[in-house]
Amino acid sequence: MCEDLIKKIYHISKESNINQIVIITNHLKFAGTLCKLEECKEGEGCILTLNNAKMWRIEDICTCGAKDCKCNDANFCSAEWLNINVSKIVAFTLKN
């Protein structure tokens, strides 16, 4: 099932020509650039790799609703690359 989700994510990314992704798990939000499919090794199973990733704890995300809110700009942890366990993904979206 995990590998099917990875294939679906890459298919949607290719069809829409968008490689920026936002992923939600039960406790974390991730944003970053999907690694190119050819850079990902076969057999990695349920791991999705993001480049230039940012990570927030869900409970720390601002909900003020102000137009052009910048509250979350300093409220994240960043990584040059980040592996995510696909079996923990609750939702995802691709964005420009």
The domain ranges of the chain are: 2-94
Sheet holding 20-24, edge to edge: 77-85, 47-57, 28-34, 20-24, 91-94
Higher pLDDT, 38 or 6: 6
- What does each C-alpha distance from 85 to 8, 29, 30, 39, 45 come to in angstroms? 15, 13, 12, 17, 9
Residue 38: band (very low, low, confident or very high) from pLDDT cuts 50, 70, 90? low
Q: At the topology level of CATH, where does 2-94 sit? A: SH3 type barrels. (2.30.30)
Mean pLDDT of the chain: 86
pLDDT for position 40 = 57
Q: How many other CB atoms sit within 10 Å of the CB of residue 40?
A: 16
Could you tell me the pTM of the whole model?
0.82
pLDDT for position 62 = 77
Beta-strand pair 77-85/28-34: unpaired
Contact by Cβ (8 Å): 64, 71: yes
